[in-house]
């Protein structure tokens, strides 16, 4: 069920997990304030391939008690670390179709730089620190719990080491 407009404040500065489709315009409206001059939105979509295999369906599972509080910790850390006004993050669980939004992060700030930096930090940290897992079904009929791809694993290490190395190649 889509939350009504009167629920908007409860979305702001929250990390949430939901089975329902992500309502992007609603989130976009919720984060906006008169002081913000920039909003950065990242949408993570369900793609139809993983490491060379064709994906036909995807299921996300989570730790039902830990996932939301861990995500919330990351979101609050992001709010403290960057000069941003607000942040919102939503991750879906359950069965998703190709092309649907699996995760979305929004960051708002007075100037664009902070919103960009904060968004990157927020989405990377969510991917590596929130207990959520992906179960992929392939067009050849096989299915499995997938490990994070090697590029993501590298980035996760750089995060924890706070290293100044060049960013990994896009993958």
Partner 1 sequence: MKALILIGGQSSRMGKDKSHLRLNGRTLLERTTSILQSLTDEIYLSVAHDDNGSHPLPVIHDLEPSPGPLGGLQAAFQHDPTSHWLLIACDLPRLTENDLAKLKPHPDCDVTCFLNPLDQHPEPLCALYSPSSASPLNAVITENRRCARRFLHSLKRHELVPDDPQALLNLNRPEHLTELEQLSQHGAIEKTITVEYFAKLSAEANTSQEEITTTAATLTGLWEEVRLRHQFTLDLPHIKPAIANEFASWETLLNDHDTVSFMPPFAGG
Q: Put the strands of the sheet holding 38-45 in their side by side order.
A: 15-18, 86-92, 101-109, 38-45
CA atoms within 13 A on the CB side of 110: 3
Instruction: Report residue 57 as tokens.
Output: 């369906």
Q: Does 159 bind partner 1 (CB under 8 A)?
A: no
Q: Of the listed pieces 20-28, 79-87, 109-117, 124-132, which binds partner 1 according to CB under 8 A?
A: 124-132
CB of 34 to partner 1, least distance (A): 31
Site string for partner 1, 6-35 (x = CB under 8 A): ------------------------------
Inter-axis angle of helices 112-129 and 67-81, to 10 degrees?
A: 150
Q: Of the listed pieces 4-12, 22-30, 139-147, 157-165, which binds partner 1 according to CB under 8 A?
A: 139-147
Q: Does 106 bind partner 1 (CB under 8 A)?
A: no
Q: DSSP character for 161?
A: H
Long-range contacts of 63-69 (CB under 8 A, 24+ apart): 63/131, 63/132, 66/131, 67/17, 67/91, 67/130, 67/131, 67/132, 68/15, 68/16, 68/17
Instruction: Report residue 126 as tokens.
Output: 């969510």
Q: Does 129 bind partner 1 (CB under 8 A)?
A: yes
CB of 6 to partner 1, least distance (A): 29
Interface with partner 1 (CB under 8 A), residue from 23, 128, 158, 168: 128
Q: Does 63 bind partner 1 (CB under 8 A)?
A: yes
Q: Kindly list the residues in this chain that would bind partner 1 in the complex (CB under 8 A).
A: 44, 60-63, 65-66, 70, 91, 102-103, 123, 126-135, 144-148, 153
């Amino acid at each position: 069920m889509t939350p009504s407009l009167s629920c908007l404040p409860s979305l702001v500065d929250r990390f949430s997990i939901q089975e329902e489709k992500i309502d992007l315009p609603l989130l976009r409206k919720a984060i906006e304030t008169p002081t913000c001059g920039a909003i950065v939105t990242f949408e993570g979509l369900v793609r139809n391939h993983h490491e060379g295999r064709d994906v036909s369906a995807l299921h996300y599972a989570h730790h039902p008690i830990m996932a939301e509080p861990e995500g919330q910790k990351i979101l609050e850390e992001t709010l403290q670390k960057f000069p941003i006004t607000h942040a919102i993050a939503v991750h879906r669980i359950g069965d998703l179709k190709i092309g649907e939004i699996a995760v979305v992060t929004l960051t708002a700030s007075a100037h664009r730089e902070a919103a960009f930096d904060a968004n990157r930090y927020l989405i990377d940290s969510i991917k590596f620190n929130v207990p959520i897992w992906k179960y992929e079904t392939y067009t050849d009929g096989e299915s499995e719990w997938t490990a994070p791809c090697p590029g993501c694993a590298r980035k996760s290490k750089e995060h924890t080491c706070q290293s100044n190395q060049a960013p990994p190649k896009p993958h």
